[in-house]
Chain A
Amino acid sequence: MCKVKIQAGLASRLFIFKICRQKKNLVKFLLMNRIYLDHAATTYIDDAVKAAMEPYWQNKFGNASTIYKEGCDARSALNAARKNIASLIGANPDEIIFTNGGTESDNLAIFGIARQYKGGHIITSKIEHHAVLNSCKVLEKENFKVTYLDVDKNGIIDLKELKKSLCKDTILISIMYANNEIGAIQPIKEIAKVIRDYKIKNKNKKIYFHTDAIQAAGYLDLNVERLGVDLMSVNASKIYGPKGVGFLYARRGIKLLPIIYGGGQEKGIRPGTENIPSIVGLDKAFEIAQKMREKESKRVVSLRDYLIKNILKIIPDSSLNGNQALRLPNNVNVTIKNVEGESLILYLDARGIACSTGSACTSQDLEPSHVITALGKSREDAHCSIRFTLGRKTTKADMDYLLKVLPGIVKKLRNISAI
């Protein structure tokens, strides 16, 4: 009896030992503290946001289009969110259209304006997000002309070039507030002024100015009056809110054509049962983001500058993409020569660091980043670019850990490299 017990004990211990050996990396993975440096891709949800959403999954689940109590509860939550978001950007509640996120907001702005015309001229920049660029490309096939403005080496458009591009056919201008890859911040107020002056000179011609403010929402002023924009896209998943929800601001009096058809929700411009829990989450996330943006910007800028300074110091042949001053507080994008972006990401991943690349090698097309090449850098440099985007949980210790592991990985990949 005793012998059997001992044997069983031994066997089970051996078994555990075997499992531990086999799953060595899994155990390591579970124990390892991950360092998330890809906040421009998406963010974790804020606790307060999650709590605000909680009642709307089960207790207040009603359809906001119905007239009984459950519907009224949902509708009042919807209205409150709309009102609060509007006040945060200095707009009226009826100027907010809820969507399923940034891409849809951009699409709605561009197609919603353009398709009212049989053709016309649109101005955008070469470094826009694909949600804007690919929408413009579709319109090019539909009798529209599109001007893609160049950017300088800092990723900023030239106002003179914009001025020159404006013409009698121009109906829409879409320039992003802050770039997702290099964090370059465009002079939105000045762009709005150029457009306004042109409009006044040309008998109040109708030209609409759209900005994609998705990356800017956590760090910059989004007051639409001060910015002078007619349309603005924002989404929740980059500002510690839920995924799959966003809004489009559209100035009063602007007619938009829907891009999907259905019931009368969102004035018929964006039909479909309102996603109340997410909209409540968007509202809360946006409120927190705008409230803490100045303080958080200050904190993150010092980490960003510390990281940039040290990467350039300890990694030979590395350079910053974009300008240090004209960029989002949380964005670091560097080119590390002879080190291909995807390989670097996967090695960093194995060391517990999550980050991204400007190179599209990890996505499904193999073209290098259109943003880095638009800065005048070579395709080779674009393949060697890497992006770290910091966030609320990022600490100086994270930066130090990254700076500790990065040189070794770079050295290894350069040893393998055939260049």
Chain B
Amino acid sequence: MIKKRLRKPAQVLATASASGGEWIYSKTVKEHFFHPRNILLKEPKKGEFDAEGAVGNPACGDVMKMWIKVEPKTQRIKKLKWRSFGCATAIASTSMFSQMVTEYGGMTLEDALRLTPQDIMKRLGGLPPYKVHCSVLADQAFKSTIENYFQKFPEEAPAK
């Protein structure tokens, strides 16, 4: 079900994105890099988000931070904002991930946790092998955010 839902917008984006010479990354990466979605531009207000997480190290060239707001009843992700220091694919990966979990009324935490770096890459139209770690980082940043969320709301954590 999820997969079916995911495929369509990627194609739309690919055709909608501008062309012009051969770019080193896919058109979708380019589109998300130049027009990143869901960036947190201002400092978050108190209570605006339920949890936050971060991953990476400036020395390694990538740092990602994420903030989420979850609807308690349905456990759907209402809002996911991010900031990223990194290369084009790091920015595009986080942007794409933020779109994937918030489109169509938001994914449930359970579904979102099931997303893999491969899913992000697929939606981005692929990444070169030496950039795969960028999609892994986006996934890890989300996992760290969810960890923070479950720490704050232990009652919502899945039963072990």
Contact = CB atoms under 8 A, between A and B. Distances in A.
Nearest to A346: B88
Contact of B61 (A25, A347, A350, A361): A361
Interface stretch (B1-9, B79-87, B98-106, B149-157): B79-87
* Chain B at the A interface: SS class: mixed
B87 A418 contact: no
A346 B35 CA distance: 13
Nearest to A26: B20
Contact of B130 (A338, A350, A365, A383): A365
B63 A25 contact: no
Contacts, number: 79
Interface string A27-39: 0110000000000
B84 A416 contact: yes
A2 interface: no
A203 interface: no
Interface in A336-381: 338, 340-343, 346-347, 350, 359, 361-362, 364-366, 368, 378-380
Contacts of A362: 24, 87
Interface string B65-105: 10000000000000000111111101100000000000000
B61 A359 contact: yes
A353 to B, nearest CB: 15
A415 B43 CA distance: 11
Given A359-B61, A366-B130, A417 B85 contact: yes
Given A25-B18, A338-B85, A383-B58, A418 B91 contact: no
B83 A416 contact: yes
Interface string B35-61: 010010100000000000010101111
Interface residues of A, number: 31
B85 A418 contact: yes
Nearest to A357: B87
A380 B88 contact: no
A24 interface: yes
B33 interface: yes
B116 to A, nearest CB: 21
B19 A418 contact: no
A364 B130 contact: yes
Given A418-B56, A419-B58, 6 more contacts: A342-B88, A359-B61, A364-B130, A368-B61, A380-B59, A418-B64
Interface of A: 22-26, 28-29, 338, 340-343, 346-347, 350, 359, 361-362, 364-366, 368, 378-380, 383, 415-419
A-B pairs, top 7 by smallest CB distance, nearest first, are A25-B18, A379-B59, A342-B87, A25-B20, A380-B58, A418-B83, A383-B61
21 contacts: A23-B20, A25-B18, A340-B61, A342-B87, A347-B34, A350-B34, A362-B24, A366-B60, A368-B61, A379-B59, A380-B58, A415-B39, A416-B36, A416-B84, A416-B91, A417-B83, A418-B54, A418-B64, A418-B83, A418-B84, A418-B85
